[in-house]
């Protein structure tokens, strides 16, 4: 199977984690697009019934609405049973790098509401150590040069993602050359740097389950 077929495979597999009759947290990205399409098909058949969703991006919101699925604002809910989202990297402990689609801040907000994070990804996203994928960091624009220097001090080469403005009005630094062996400590440290809105390491909000698509089908990893 090619990568698009693997995304469709794990998108359908994630339907088993949709909590019946409860509001669902929905992430962002091409794999999540496949999940949204599969979810809409099941709702149309009457196989799944949910009162609505909380979305982590304008992109996903528009896709959900197009399918006739209700989208609630995060402020309208006090908690979610499940959040389903993809990852750019995930390690053997469930720690992730996210933000390739520039939605990392809202993704963390929705993940923070959820009791369970279900990650859907193809097998190429599974790594031993986070950092091969350029680490996305949402920043306040005026801090770009300052933060670039701070990342250089720890061995990272940061560059602004050209032409990208997040749903929050922030910019994205992509940081290359890092090996993130302590995701929890790294996330806590970088989040304190002035000008950082969110760092794309999801350690505090790590995956509970990962549905990993490969040539042999979908493998379920639990953490």
Catalytic residue among 89, 107, 138, 187: 107
Annotated binding site for substrate: 28-31, 85-88, 98-101, 125
- In angstroms, how far is the first alpha carbon of the chain from the final one? 27
d(CA 65, CA 3): 26
Catalytic annotation present for 187: no
Q: Which residues of 163-174 are buried (b: 16+ CB within 10 A; e: fewer)?
A: eeebbeebbbbb
- How many other C-beta atoms lie within 10 A of the C-beta of residue 58? 13
The total number of residues shown for the chain amounts to 223
- Pair type for strands 217-222 and 135-139: unpaired
d(CA 193, CA 191): 6
Annotated binding site: 28-31, 85-88, 98-101, 125
> Is 28 buried (19+), middle (13-18) or exposed (0-12) by CB count in 10 A?
buried
Active-site residues, by number, are: 107
């Amino acid at each position: 199977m090619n990568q698009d077929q693997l995304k469709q495979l794990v998108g359908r597999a994630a339907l088993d984690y949709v909590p019946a009759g409860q509001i669902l947290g929905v992430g962002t990205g091409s794999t999540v697009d496949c999940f949204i399409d599969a979810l809409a098909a099941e709702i149309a058949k009457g196989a799944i019934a949910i009162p609505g969703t909380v979305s982590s991006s304008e992109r996903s919101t528009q896709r959900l609405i197009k399918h006739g699925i209700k989208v609630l604002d995060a402020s309208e809910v006090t908690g979610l049973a499940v959040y389903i989202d993809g990852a750019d990297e995930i390690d053997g402990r469930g720690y992730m790098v996210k933000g390739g689609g520039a939605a990392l801040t809202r993704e963390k907000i929705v993940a923070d509401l959820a009791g369970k994070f279900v990650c859907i990804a193809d097998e190429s996203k599974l790594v031993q150590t986070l950092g091969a994928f350029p680490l996305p960091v949402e920043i306040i624009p005026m801090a770009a040069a300052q933060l670039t220097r701070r990342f250089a001090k720890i061995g990272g080469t940061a560059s602004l993602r050209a032409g990208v403005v997040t749903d929050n009005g922030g910019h994205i630094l992509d940081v290359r050359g890092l090996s993130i062996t302590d995701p929890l400590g790294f996330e806590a440290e970088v989040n304190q740097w002035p000008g950082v809105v969110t760092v794309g390491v999801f350690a505090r909000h790590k995956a509970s389950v990962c549905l990993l698509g490969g040539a042999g089908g979908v493998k379920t990893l639990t953490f």
